[in-house]
Amino acid sequence: MCGELEDDGPAALEDHLYTAFLAHARALLAEQARNAGQDQDTAAAYADKLFGDALMRARSDCEARDPELRYQTLAVQPLVFARLAGFLASHLSLGEDPLRRVMEAMMHGYAEAEHLEPEHGHDHDDEDEHDHDHAHGHSHGGGHHHH
């Protein structure tokens, strides 16, 4: 029986991680939809929209795959986006410290999922339940969080 649990372990973990990704993506996209139309001409609004568009594409690419390939698809996506971030950052002025800004944005995104985990560790369809994200001071989007 121990062997059976070990065999099911990685698949169960991958399923849990993928389900958490779907719930977190839904929460972030729902928040973005609630904030749509606010200060559309700012760099932050552009960054939020681009982040949402990329997240929506990442999610839809995963969902379009066979269920047994969805986690593998998810696992390659951060590598692709990191490569793209590096490529884009390489064209910025070194005076703007582009690598530091990319690393800070990446760490913000990593921490963002940890903040959502206690409340969004499962997938569900009622997007209104995500309204309490604002109470926790979450600020979502990409690229406009500078320290």
pLDDT value, residue 84: 96
Q: Where are the domains of the chain?
A: 2-136
**pLDDT level of residue 25 (50, 70, 90 thresholds):** very high
Contacts of 130 (CB under 8 A, 6+ apart): 26, 27, 30, 31, 120
As a three-state string, the secondary structure of 15-29 is HHHHHHHHHHHHHHH
In 3-state terms, what secondary structure has residue 42? coil
Question: How many CB atoms are located within 10 Å of the residue 50 CB?
Answer: 13
pTM of the model: 0.70
In 3-state terms, what secondary structure has residue 76? helix
Provide mean pLDDT across the span 65-83.
Answer: 96
Percentage of the chain surpassing pLDDT 70? 73
The answer to whether the beta carbons of residues 44 and 144 sit under 8 Å apart is yes
- Indicate whether 48 pLDDT > 60: yes
Q: Tens digits of per-residue pLDDT, 87-128?
A: 999 999 888 899 899 999 999 998 888 777 544 444 444 444
Provide mean pLDDT across the span 72-90.
Answer: 96
